[in-house]
Structure 1
Amino acid sequence: MMNRENKKFPEQLRMWRKSRRLTQTQAGKVLCVSANTISSWERGKVPPERFRKRIAEELGVEESILFDIVPKEFNTILKTNRLERGLTQKELSDKLGYSVSTINNWENGASISEFAIEDICTFFGIEIQERN
């Protein structure tokens, strides 16, 4: 099997489809979507969450690697933990030493540095699995 783990999702999908000699229509049937959907995914559109597990299984690549979703998941973890503790973004920013706008950006999908992730994990007492 080809190593597709270091490729972006559109490339991985195209490589999977071509390696099996499938048209976009045939690939769509395998993944239960239209040929137009396959085409849009191959051009860079990210599939809705409800399709990701099936796609990852079919392509033989871990979902978190295929869609590079760990940062987004971490943004959700941050917001969930903040809300569970009843903290406002301002209160959390004061405790972590980051600006309110930075906390807000993180919760809305902005990338978070490894150092900031460590600070957040330490503050909330959570562990994140390493990705290799």
Structure 2
Amino acid sequence: MNREDKTFPEQLRMWRKSRRLTQTEAGKVLGVSVNTIGHWEGGRVPPERFRKRIAEELGVEESILFDVVPKEFNTLLKTKRLERKLTQKELGERLGYSEATISIWENGGRISEFAIEDICTFFGIEI
């Protein structure tokens, strides 16, 4: 597998371990807390304000490192959910995903084509 085929959490962990950094040390390099590094290595997507710095430090293009859904889809997902007066938990239960996953998607996280199909089918929309 090519290095660029790895997900952001895998890339971050690989970068940190190759430099023999603890999560605390990696946090200092990137200007965040140890908890934040743990969350990112666990799959959370960093806010946009950190992405350029992280990509530069890891030596990977930002667009590759953070293969995120276009903002329009994230906004559409949240808009449609709110139109139906659903919480993230309720939508997750209806689609078969966790509340955390719905939150990640609405905040720009990576989403598979299959999940996009599930969402579009549920809301009766086409992308």
TM-score normalised over the length of structure 1: 0.53
Deviating beyond 2 angstroms after TM superposition, the runs of 4 or more aligned structure 1 residues are: 73-76, 108-113
Give the 3-state SS of the residue equivalent to 2:70 in structure 1: helix
Q: Distance in 1 between matches of 2:8 and 2:21?
A: 17
Partner of 2:70: 72
Kept after mapping to 2: 8 A contact 1:52/1:63:
yes
Kept after mapping to 2: 8 A contact 1:4/1:61:
no
Unaligned stretches of 5+ in structure 1?
A: 80-107, 114-119, 121-132
CA RMSD of aligned residues (A): 2.5
Count of aligned pairs between the two proteins: 81
Give the 3-state SS of the residue equivalent to 1:47 in structure 2: coil
Unaligned stretches of 5+ in structure 2?
A: 77-105, 118-126
Q: Distance in 1 between matches of 2:63 and 2:72?
A: 12
Q: Distance in 1 between matches of 2:71 and 2:61?
A: 15
TM-score normalised over the length of structure 2: 0.55
Larger Rg: 1
Q: Distance in 1 between matches of 2:64 and 2:55?
A: 9
Letter in 1 for 2:23: Q
Give percent identity, aligned residues only. 74
How far is the alpha carbon of 1:72 from its aligned partner?
A: 1.4
Letter in 1 for 2:38: S
Q: Distance in 2 between matches of 1:74 and 1:16?
A: 31
Indicate the structure whose relative CO is greater, using CA pairs within 8 Å and at least 6 residues apart.
Answer: 2
Q: Does 1:48 align with 2:50?
A: no
